[in-house]
A and B are shown apart, each in its own frame.
Chain A
Amino acid sequence: MPRLVSHPDEVKLVSRRFGLGAAQISRYEELGGYASARKCLELGPEWIITEMKASNLRGRGGAGFPTGLKWSFVPKQSAKPKYVLVNGDESEPGTCKDHLIFLHDPHAVIEGTIIAGLAIGAKMGFIYLRGEYRYLLEIMEKAVADAYAKGYLGKNIFGTDTEFQIMTHTGAGAYEVGEESALMESLEGKRGVPRIKPPFPAVVGLYGGPTVINNAETIATVPHVIEIGAAAFAATGSERNGGTRLFGISGHVERPGVYELPMGYNLKKMIYEVAGGVRGGRQLKAVVPGGSSTPVLLPDEIDIGMDFDQVGKAGSMLGSGGVVVIDDQTCIVEFALRTISFYQHESCGWCIPCREGTDWLKKSLTRFHAGFGVAKDIDNIKYLAENMMGRTFCPLGDAAAMPTLGFVKKFRKEFEDHLDGKNCPFAKHRIPQLTVV
């Protein structure tokens, strides 16, 4: 069972029911649950969207797109049914926040989905969980069944004439499916290959109907925005970044865990105070601030606020909020190799720059780490990565190229230390053995 952690600096909003038995519907309601959905039913779609826009809630999946704005793009009239699709395919290395939401607060996901449905005029929502999360899928399934039994889902939700249905759905192992268009393909029973945009999902999405796709954390945050009000939510975070975020701190820290902190919370403080600093009294070497696809930051670059804009200004991304801390005993070349091995394994092969690029990067880094690198490999790795950027349907190509570029740029010396048959200074030669299907 994943361990829950806490720290005095936390602002518990999304996580406030964690560990309190809220997977039971009666308990969820005792703790204020389903009041926001009722309120939204009363006040209507325009009010919901205005409120969401004012809240400054931005997508928690990684892109940070304003949620209210996204919802407002869905046309009011549509010949085809509209859908809400909740992205619980959480697969970005370093990210495990949705895991806790599904485990401790499944009804918040249901309630958020209902509210999104009301806002855009959809009658159906899907909650897509990655295949590995089977025990969480079972928790979600039970929660959905309980919500049906109470009349909170179905033809006449909460005794009104409004209909809203929810289905849970399992994936079967695929990182790429976390990308919204690939997610829709997967839900339609196909390979998770991305679709070209435009048209955007808000216009032509699932089964050809207008679709809103939100990350599970975003959706679970929605009822809290309604509950405390947009103004209070916006005031909790930093400028243009409303509310709190479930930051997952992992790697070489004393107290890894998922901590809910206000948007804009200082990264340095997050590592040294909230997570107890670097494990075993070692020195900090690098930080991956928002999941494995975000460019690495050096110790002197981490005195920044953790919101989408400030991390962007520092040359990286807030991404999924998965902070991976790396100590001074770690080989960056090995870390880069493990990262690219993942993207090579997960590339769907649809776009050539990503399919070939990830493969060549893995080959180069494998050779490099084994001590057979030559000087021009470093520039080749950079050249390859640069030429993947922006040249693919979905962001997987960028997600593979960006961190690689960061490692090469910021740790060039360490790459050079591996040259011409020199042993890895950290004396580890472990090459990932994942087979490629």
Chain B
Amino acid sequence: MSPETMTVFSPRLSERFDALMTKYPLKRSALIPMLLYAQDEVGYLSDAVISEVGMRIGITELEVRNVATYYSMLRFKPVGKYNVQVCTNISCMLRGAYDIYERFQDELGIGPKGITPDGVFSLEEVECIGACCWAPAIQINYDFHDELSPESVPGILASYRGKAQNEVPHA
């Protein structure tokens, strides 16, 4: 089922949302976590996701979009299975973050915000990820990799390529 035609989340996620909404003093507090968790499952905030989340919280799609566009981790287009996020903020920059970023571009053959043709990787430059003392650092999806050098880039990519191959493709 493609994300655009998916009207409900997996039963597990659905259950998690039900629990979340009852825990907060106000249901709407669950909105941002729900959007992020939905994105983790679907890959991005598709129209169907936005509509479904809005319905569950009891607010309009417009309100959902109004909130979602504020947060930099929330996205409205698909990314690669592994989204490489290179921090180039000051502490990382001083220790060579732009060299790391360029190496990723070279190795992957894509530019900023690009996605590899096989859909395995995407690449973006991000703001401070809170790993300043272990700079330069990146995140691949939610995993941190720190104290990097350009030479460590191919090895990191190889390990994720291996992971992508070993995983059973989604039905």
List the interface of chain A (C-beta within 8 A of B): 2-3, 81, 90-96, 98-99, 124, 130-135, 167, 169-175, 186-192, 207, 248-252, 256-258, 288, 292, 322, 324-327, 330, 335, 338-339, 342, 345-346, 348, 430, 432-435, 437
Contact = CB atoms under 8 A, between A and B. Distances in A.
Interface string B18-40: 00000111101111110110000
Nearest to B72: A173
Given A2-B134, A95-B128, A173-B74, 12 more contacts: A94-B132, A170-B32, A171-B71, A172-B71, A189-B26, A190-B28, A192-B70, A192-B71, A250-B133, A292-B128, A322-B132, A342-B89
A351 B28 CA distance: 25
Contacts of B88: 338, 432
B51 interface: no
B94 A326 contact: yes
A133 B137 CA distance: 14
B133 A96 contact: yes
Contacts of B72: 172-174, 345, 437
A72 B29 CA distance: 27
Interface stretch (B7-15, B141-149, B155-163): B141-149
A324 B139 CA distance: 21
B73 A189 contact: no
Contacts of A132: 73, 129-130, 139, 142
A348 to B, nearest CB: 7
B70 A348 contact: yes
Interface residues of B, number: 48
Interface of B: 23-26, 28-33, 35-36, 57, 66-67, 69-74, 88-91, 93-95, 98, 112-113, 125-135, 139, 142-144, 146-147
Contacts of A249: 133
B91 A324 contact: yes
Nearest to A100: B133
Contact of A169 (B29, B74, B94, B147): B29
B75 to A, nearest CB: 10
15 contacts: A2-B134, A2-B144, A90-B130, A95-B130, A131-B71, A132-B73, A172-B35, A187-B29, A189-B31, A192-B70, A251-B91, A256-B133, A327-B94, A342-B89, A437-B69
Nearest to B146: A2
A364 B30 CA distance: 40
A433 B32 contact: no
Contacts of A186: 32
A330 to B, nearest CB: 7
Given A2-B146, A172-B36, A133 B130 contact: yes
Contact of A324 (B32, B90, B130, B142): B90
A325 B90 CA distance: 10
Contacts of A93: 89-91, 127-128, 132
A345 B35 CA distance: 21
B67 A190 contact: yes
Contacts of A167: 23-24
A435 B29 contact: no
Contacts of B32: 170-172, 186, 189
A81 B134 contact: no
Contacts of B90: 93-94, 251, 288, 292, 324, 335, 338-339, 342
B10 to A, nearest CB: 18
A171 B34 CA distance: 10
Contacts of A169: 29, 33
The interface residues of chain A, by DSSP majority, are classed as loop
A249 B130 CA distance: 13
A96 B130 contact: yes
A135 B142 contact: yes
Contacts of A338: 88-90, 93
Nearest to A193: B70
A326 B72 CA distance: 28
Contacts of A92: 128
Contacts of A250: 91, 94-95, 132-133, 135
A170 B67 contact: no
Per CB-CB distance, the 10 closest pairs between chain A and chain B, nearest first, are A173-B73, A189-B31, A173-B72, A189-B28, A172-B71, A250-B91, A134-B142, A191-B70, A93-B128, A250-B132
Contact of B73 (A124, A131, A326): A131
Nearest to B57: A189
A277 to B, nearest CB: 15
A330 B94 contact: yes
A133 B66 CA distance: 24
A433 B71 contact: no
B29 A258 contact: no
B143 A135 contact: yes
A252 B142 contact: no
Given A251-B90, A432-B125, A257 B67 contact: no
Nearest to A432: B88
A427 B91 CA distance: 20
A249 B95 CA distance: 13
A276 to B, nearest CB: 13
B130 A99 contact: yes
B83 to A, nearest CB: 12
Contacts of B30: 189
Given A170-B33, A249-B133, A435-B113, A188 B91 contact: no
A171 B72 CA distance: 10
A188 B129 contact: no
Contacts of A99: 130-131
